[in-house]
Amino acid sequence: MALSEFDIIARYFEHQRVQRSDVALGVGDDCALLRVPSGYELAVSIDTMVEGRHFPVGTAPQAIGHKALAVSLSDLAAMGGEPAWATLSLSLPTPDTGWLESFVRGLFALAGRFEVQLVGGDTVKGPLVVTTQLHGFVPEGRALRRSGASAGDAIFVTGSLGDAGLGLAIRQGLAEADGADRDYLCSRLDYPEPRVEAGRHLLGAASAAIDVSDGLLADLGHILERSGLGARLEVEKLPLSAALRGHAGEERAIGLALSSGDDYELCFTVPPDRLELIDTLPVAAARIGTVEAEAGVRLFRNGNAYRCAGRGYDHFGGPDDG
């Protein structure tokens, strides 16, 4: 049975628990009408996920719904923003009610947790592509930027790194894990946890921040480039989960933590006189290195130079891209 574009909108996207008072008009007209509170800047971020490229073919629709919003929430978290509104562009090959119900369940569960209201979008027939735009607020002039780091700042990362990379390898049959470890690693790939509260806490504490979507070396590299600086990293301080160590082994775990993407942790820099502000962060954060004046990233392990060939995932530089 063919659902029309209008059936889909009415059935799946018009009804949600979150109804914000700053939404004058949501889904249903030609535009949404929205009110930004005074004293705040509007922070806007958009991400597109293509099946087979940004999530494996066969990913549960609930996970696709979650992840579509999670990646945008993660961008906003990296600026220290407070989430407010989302728009969604959905390209679907065949509108299937079971697929849509599950997708919307994943999307709205996460939206509900952060009081995000879906205020509009677009629905078209085509290959499976999900684009989410998120709008949030940052106190005027205070957003965390990539460009704010200084030599001597400490480098931190939240949570743990490399789990989603191993989860992807498991899905692709390139690594093995079973039971609770497999569930954990795959859920880190499918249901990333955007570090929104941590990002807001970092306003006024961190000098620069970025979310780790393409791999630590690549994303930290963006902070360093924008700040015109370099860094040293202590690889033995990288936060690695027990599941990652257990199933990848130490060397591969370090490689994944440095280079694999999709973890959506925050990497941030903190000036020495503000370090105590990190003690009260609502999520664990590991101190992994120091910003230095000399360009480039130098890796050490227990004080000795450490060699690693990995780079972050480059969507257009991979061997399969042609």
Chosen from ligand ADP, Mg ion, none, partner binding at 310 (C-beta under 5 to 8 Å by type) = none
SS3 content of the chain, % helix, strand, coil (to 5): 35, 25, 35
Question: Where do runs of H (alpha helix) occur along the chain?
Answer: 5-8, 61-79, 97-113, 163-171, 179-190, 196-202, 216-227, 242-248, 250-259
- Residues touching ligand ADP: how many (CB under 6 A)? 13
Token pair listed for 25 = 């008009």
Q: What letters, b where the CB count within 10 A reaches 16 and e where it falls short, cover 145-170?
A: bbebbeeebbbbbbbbbbbbbbbbbb
Amino acid (1-letter code) at residue 210: I
State in angstroms the smallest separation of the CB of 308 from ligand ADP.
42
Amino acid (1-letter code) at residue 184: Y
Q: Are 256 and 183 in contact (CB under 8 A)?
A: no
State in angstroms the smallest separation of the CB of 82 from ligand ADP.
21
Q: Binding to ligand ADP by residue 121, rule CB under 6 A? A: yes
State in angstroms the smallest separation of the CB of 169 from Mg ion.
38
Q: Binding to ligand ADP by residue 29, rule CB under 6 A? A: yes
State in angstroms the smallest separation of the CB of 99 from ligand ADP.
13
Q: Binding to ligand ADP by residue 9, rule CB under 6 A? A: yes
Q: Which of 27, 68, 78, 161 binds ligand ADP (CB under 6 A)?
A: 27
Q: Binding to ligand ADP by residue 30, rule CB under 6 A? A: yes
Chosen from Mg ion, ligand ADP, none, partner binding at 123 (C-beta under 5 to 8 Å by type) = ligand ADP
Which of the residues 74 through 93 are near ligand ADP (CB under 6 A)?
Answer: 88, 90
User: What does the alpha-carbon distance between residue 270 and residue 150 come to, in Å, rounded to a whole number?
Assistant: 9
Q: Binding to ligand ADP by residue 99, rule CB under 6 A? A: no
Chosen from ligand ADP, Mg ion, none, partner binding at 100 (C-beta under 5 to 8 Å by type) = none
Q: Which listed range, 8-16, 119-127, 174-182, 247-255, lies at the site for Mg ion (CB under 5 A)? A: 119-127
Q: Binding to ligand ADP by residue 178, rule CB under 6 A? A: no
Nearer to Mg ion, 5 or 41 (CB): 5
Q: Which of 122, 176, 197, 294 binds Mg ion (CB under 5 A)?
A: 122
Q: Are 311 and 217 in contact (CB under 8 A)?
A: yes
Backbone angles phi, psi at 139, to 5 degrees: -55, 135
Q: Which listed range, 39-47, 117-125, 129-137, 166-174, lies at the site for ligand ADP (CB under 6 A)? A: 117-125
Nearest to 50 by CA among 128, 120, 144, 142: 128
By CB atoms closer than 10 A (0-12, 13-18, 19+), residue 310 is middle
Q: Binding to ligand ADP by residue 46, rule CB under 6 A? A: no
Chosen from ligand ADP, Mg ion, none, partner binding at 121 (C-beta under 5 to 8 Å by type) = ligand ADP
Cα→Cα distances 108→5, 14, 105, 113, 135, Å: 19, 11, 5, 8, 16
State in angstroms the smallest separation of the CB of 103 from ligand ADP.
10
Q: Is 120 left (phi over 0), alpha (psi -120 to 50) or beta?
A: left
User: What does the alpha-carbon distance between residue 249 and residue 269 come to, in Å, rounded to a whole number?
Assistant: 28
Nearer to ligand ADP, 118 or 231 (CB): 118
Q: Binding to ligand ADP by residue 100, rule CB under 6 A? A: no
User: What does the alpha-carbon distance between residue 269 and residue 152 come to, in Å, rounded to a whole number?
Assistant: 9
Residues within the interface to Mg ion (CB under 5 A): 122
Residues within the interface to ligand ADP (CB under 6 A): 9, 13, 27-30, 88, 90, 118, 120-123
